[in-house]
Amino acid sequence: MVPDSIPETSEDWRTILSDINKIIMPGVTHWQSPNFHAYYPTASSYPSIVGEMLSAGFSVIGFSWICSPACTELEVVVMDWLAKFFNLPQHFLHSAHGPGGEQAVKRVKKEHPEWSESDIRGKLIAYSSDQSNSCVEKAGLLAAVPFKLLPTDSDCVLRGHHIKAALEKDQAEGLIPIICIANVGTTGTCAFDEVESLGPVCQSNNIWFHVDAAYAGAGFAIEEYSHLRKGLELVDSLNFNLHKFLMVNFDCAAMWIRDANLVVDSFNVDRIYLKHQYEALGLVCFRLKGDNDLNSSLIKKITDNKKIYMVQGKYKDTIFIRFCVCGMDPQEKDVDFAWKEIQDQSEIVINEAEDMLNGNYIQKNMNIVEEMEGIDEPYEEEFIPKS
């Protein structure tokens, strides 16, 4: 069995592989077995495995563009590849930009300024079918929004008239419908909700329309299943799992949003401390003497020069710069290199600031001379200090 504490000595690969075969493999549910018939299929392939190895080898965290530009840019390109491959509407391409904006709470707040935010949130309601995956209900719990799982017809299909009846009833009771989730290939029965009739109802009632095509979305790419794409032009967002049909190992899920700015605005939390993982390990916070603009200029100069990478922080109204030793095997020469770069860029920023102040002084005096032309009386030159 696996020991109950961390081993203090290493083992050779042959021993490790033997342990995997004797201890791990008997407890694995073999999803790739020809005798596995549960849930839905998952897949893998040699290209997928190599991709995982490369990703693990890079060992970067690409949660924003600046943290790893290639991650973001490659993701954008591949998502557009997939959108075209699956014949999705043009508005799901990255090149199609929406106007941005806020979500249901802000919209209703504008319509009813007398309502508090807590009043509005207490009235929100969401819809899906009784065939939906349990993750739909879990999402509702996380968002503190109740989901109504509407009964489907004898074919396990949710149709436009189903949700229309529910909307009318709930709106009459003062509730605020915000989202409907339709299914393209449900987990239980592989049912297909009638997207083309649900879309117009959602659009006319100004509620978000999402399609969960986790299993059957891959069929969008095949011409003989083109009928599955009916109504997608009215969808606000859709997702499906590439690891089920497209030979990509778990977990790989794609999601498209008609107007991505809506999601960015909703989840935008500008907190420097949320963006890094090593806040308490070898962290030094410093700033140039002077105002915040001077320090912002310094961090921009350092970032643009691309020799070292740091980020700024903020305490109350004071901007400072964070220097954290993040490397797995840091050397003193690495810190010296960074310090030299900080000094070099600081000197440039300070010189530019002094030149700007000197320029302002000269320009001010030139303006005074122009104003005094034609006046015989002597005047005293106004002195503007550099700091």
Separation CA 197–CA 160 (nearest Å) = 5
Tens of pLDDT along 3-13? 888 888 999 99
Is the N-terminal amide bond of 251 cis, ω within 30° of 0? yes
Residue 276 lies inside a defined structural domain of this protein: no
Q: What is the 3-state secondary structure (H, E, C) of 127-193?
A: EEECCCCHHHHHHHHHHCCCEEEECCCCCCCCCHHHHHHHHHHHHHCCCEEEEEEEEECCCCCCCEC
Across the range 80-105, mean pLDDT stands at: 68
Residue 214 lies inside a defined structural domain of this protein: yes
Residues 151 and 257 reside in one and the same domain: yes
Residue 39 lies inside a defined structural domain of this protein: no
Sheet containing 311-315: order of strands? 283-286, 318-324, 311-315
Average pLDDT, the chain: 79
Residues 236 and 303 reside in one and the same domain: no
Tens of pLDDT along 140-193? 887 788 888 898 888 888 999 999 999 999 899 988 888 899 988 877 677 888
Residues 316 and 257 reside in one and the same domain: no
The pLDDT confidence band at residue 102, using thresholds 50, 70 and 90, is: very low
Q: What's the domain range around 104?
A: 76-267
Residues 84 and 205 reside in one and the same domain: yes
In this model, does residue 281 exceed pLDDT 50? no
Catalytic-role residue among 21, 87, 133, 206 = 133
In this model, does residue 379 exceed pLDDT 90? no
Residues 221 and 86 reside in one and the same domain: yes
Residues 209 and 329 reside in one and the same domain: no
Return the structure tokens found at 167: 């909307």
Separation CA 212–CA 215 (nearest Å) = 8
Query: What DSSP state is assigned to residue 383?
Result: P
Residues 299 and 209 reside in one and the same domain: no
- Please, which residues bridge with residue 180 across strands? 127, 209
Residues 293 and 169 reside in one and the same domain: no
Residue 215 lies inside a defined structural domain of this protein: yes
Query: What residue type is assigned to position 215 of the chain?
Result: Y
Separation CA 188–CA 186 (nearest Å) = 6
Residue 41 lies inside a defined structural domain of this protein: no
pTM of the model: 0.63
- E strands, the chain, in order: 124-129, 147-150, 176-183, 208-212, 237-241, 253-257, 283-286, 311-315, 318-324
Question: Which helix or strand (DSSP H or E) is residue 85 part of?
Answer: helix 69-85
Residue 326 sits in a domain of what CATH number? 3.90.1150.10
Residues 112 and 254 reside in one and the same domain: yes
Tens of pLDDT along 63-76? 777 788 888 888 88
Query: What residue type is assigned to position 373 of the chain?
Result: E
What is residue 360's predicted lDDT score, i.e. its pLDDT?
Answer: 62
In this structure, what are the phi and psi dihedrals at residue 117, rounded to the nearest 5 degrees?
Answer: -60, -35
Separation CA 17–CA 357 (nearest Å) = 69
Residues 230 and 344 reside in one and the same domain: no
How many domains is the chain built from?
2
Separation CA 92–CA 255 (nearest Å) = 10
Residues 192 and 303 reside in one and the same domain: no
How many residues in the chain?
387
Radius of gyration of the chain (CA): 30
**267, 291, 312: which is the final residue of a domain?**
267
Helices and strands, number each (H, E), in the chain: 12, 9
Query: 3-class SS at 314?
Result: strand
Residue 364 lies inside a defined structural domain of this protein: no
- Is residue 133 annotated as part of the catalytic site, yes or no? yes
Sign of CA dihedral 201, 203, 205, 209: positive
Tens of pLDDT along 305-356? 988 888 888 877 889 898 887 776 778 898 899 999 999 999 999 999 888 8
Residue 251 sits in a domain of what CATH number? 3.40.640.10
Residue 1 lies inside a defined structural domain of this protein: no
Residue 4 lies inside a defined structural domain of this protein: no
Residues 115 and 235 reside in one and the same domain: yes
